[in-house]
A = this chain, B = another copy of it.
Amino acid sequence: MIAMSRKTNAVTLAHIAARAGVAPITVSRALRGGTLVAKTTRERILAAAAELCYVPNLLARGLIHNRTSTIGVIIIELANPFFAPMLSSIETAAAKRDFLVMIGESGRNEERERKYVERFQQLRIAGIIVTPSTKRMDHLAALRESGTGVVVMSRRWADGDYVTSDHSVGGQLVAQHLLSRGHRRIGLISCEASMGSSFFDRIKGFHRFLASATVLIPPAWVLHTSGNRIEDGENMADAFLALRKRPSAIFALTDRLAMGFTHRLLSRGIRIPEDIAVIGYDDIPFASHNQIPLTTVKISVQRMGELAAEVLFDRIGGTREPGNRHIRLSPELVIRASCP
């Protein structure tokens, strides 16, 4: 079996030092590019390193500094077109600063989220960006206490840095649009994953604005689903079809729900928007290419990722003054065929 015992055959500073006829520490200095090494010595060292195909050991360096140039990102769902662009722009921002990104997919499971936080900490990452699964933030607070940068994304966090979209305004935009188009019988496709402040705020802003116009949503017209996939939207369409009285318009909490919903309804001969107008949320890249292009609320997700990374690296770099940064980006209504 693998004899792997301890025979590290990797090239180390000592090897280069021997070849260049200097001490290891001098090699270290030369490789890091400080000005403390004579030009000729440096050149000799660089040449030796190249010949030996030296690969620096970042673990050793990390052990000394008790930190690596790595950040962790914990995301609800990697393959979700809403979250994926965030990850992408964070990765871009990290690469620019020569940081690597470790990922964790929580699936909105708090236990898994905590597990990732713990593992990241064990690897001495410099900071993390999290889309939290629940309201409980104690593990994040604890991590931050220990000196690691922590930024919450796509949710609010009273006691720490966060970057999110103002979902309350988004919900309001939806309500406003529906009312302006004369709708009074209005339904809602809600999602159990709404524990997060994100969905909660959408609903809150939506209800509040409707209420201000004395429009109320009867409980029968609030359709509940546990998941947030296209299929869940299709199931909601079945639930909708089973209603005895139907609303004239409905607000789906996410575009994916709206897509499944519209798709299934169309296949059942329901006309959109004539029979039922539909508004989604998120403006994912495919919302405009839905069978019936979706009216929706656009969130600049990559901008969110960018900003989250910016805030995090400010923290890591130590350039940020104390005090928490609360950033809320304004969403924007995009009007398309599903509710013109």
Interface on A for B, CB 8 Å cutoff?
Answer: 1-2, 6, 8, 10, 55-60, 62-64, 66, 68, 70, 77-79, 81, 84-85, 87-88, 91-92, 95, 100-105, 112, 118-124, 146, 230, 259-260, 263, 285-286, 288-293, 318
Contacts and interface: CB of A to CB of B under 8 A. Distances in A.
A63 B57 contact: yes
A81 B285 CA distance: 10
A63 B60 CA distance: 6
Nearest to A107: B92
Tell me whether chain A's interface is mostly helix, strand or loop, or mixed: mixed
Contacts of A81: 79, 81, 84
A70 B118 CA distance: 14
How many copies of this chain are found per oligomer?
2
Contacts of A70: 102, 123
A84 B88 CA distance: 10
Given A289-B290, A290-B291, A56 B102 contact: no
B57 A2 contact: no
Contacts of A120: 100
B102 A102 contact: yes
Contact of A59 (B2, B78, B123): B123
A114 to B, nearest CB: 13
Given A84-B79, A100-B102, A121 B55 contact: yes
29 contacts: A6-B64, A6-B66, A8-B66, A55-B118, A55-B146, A57-B124, A58-B122, A58-B124, A59-B68, A59-B123, A59-B124, A60-B63, A68-B123, A78-B84, A78-B88, A79-B81, A79-B85, A79-B88, A88-B105, A91-B104, A95-B105, A95-B112, A100-B104, A100-B120, A101-B103, A103-B103, A286-B289, A290-B290, A290-B291
B79 A87 contact: yes
A55 B63 CA distance: 14
A87 B78 contact: yes
A103 B101 CA distance: 6
Contacts of A8: 66
Given A84-B79, A121-B55, A91 B63 contact: no
A105 B289 CA distance: 26
B57 A59 contact: no
A60 B88 CA distance: 30
A92 B68 contact: no
Contact of A289 (B91, B104, B112, B263): B263
B101 A102 contact: yes
A8 B64 CA distance: 9
Given A84-B78, A85-B79, A87-B78, A59 B62 contact: yes
B66 A91 contact: no
A28 to B, nearest CB: 14
A291 B6 CA distance: 60
B91 A105 contact: yes
Contacts of A289: 230, 259-260, 263, 286, 290-291
